[in-house]
Amino acid sequence: MLKTIVVALDGSEITERIIQTLQDLALPKESKVVLCHVFLPPDTDKDLPADRPHPQSAEVSYLQIEKQLQSYQAQFFTNSQLE
């Protein structure tokens, strides 16, 4: 039995299929789904520190991302949280 599932979403077209697949799993109520948003790596050759905001992150509103994750979260009948 799956206890915790961490789902990294990047806003691509596959996101809806991932959410649908999670719903199709019919997880028990004791399970927990953790939704998080990930940013695609920049198309540069230089190394960027992992703990610093990426240049592309400014293009997407954090509030917009949080609202999208909340809408996905509302579709689950199991315990879930946002990261």
Give 52's strand partners: none
User: Domain segments of the chain: what residues?
Assistant: 4-39+56-82
Given its phi and psi angles, is residue 8 left (phi above 0), alpha (psi -120 to 50 degrees) or beta? beta
- Model confidence at 2, pLDDT cuts 50, 70, 90, reads confident
3-state secondary structure labels for all residues of the chain: CCCEEEEEECCCCCHHHHHHHHHHCCCCCCCEEEEEECCCCCCCCCCCCCCCCCHHHHHCCHHHHHHHHHHHHCCCCCEEEEC
Q: Please answer whether residues 11 and 66 qualify as being in contact, where contact means their C-beta atoms are separated by less than 8 angstroms.
A: no
Judged against a pLDDT cut of 70, whether residue 49 lies above it is answered with: no
pTM, to two decimals: 0.63
Read off the pLDDT of each residue in 63-72 and give the average, rounded to a whole number: 82
pLDDT score recorded for residue 52: 63
| One-letter amino acid of 38 | V
- Give the tens place of pLDDT for each residue, 21-38: 988 887 888 888 898 888
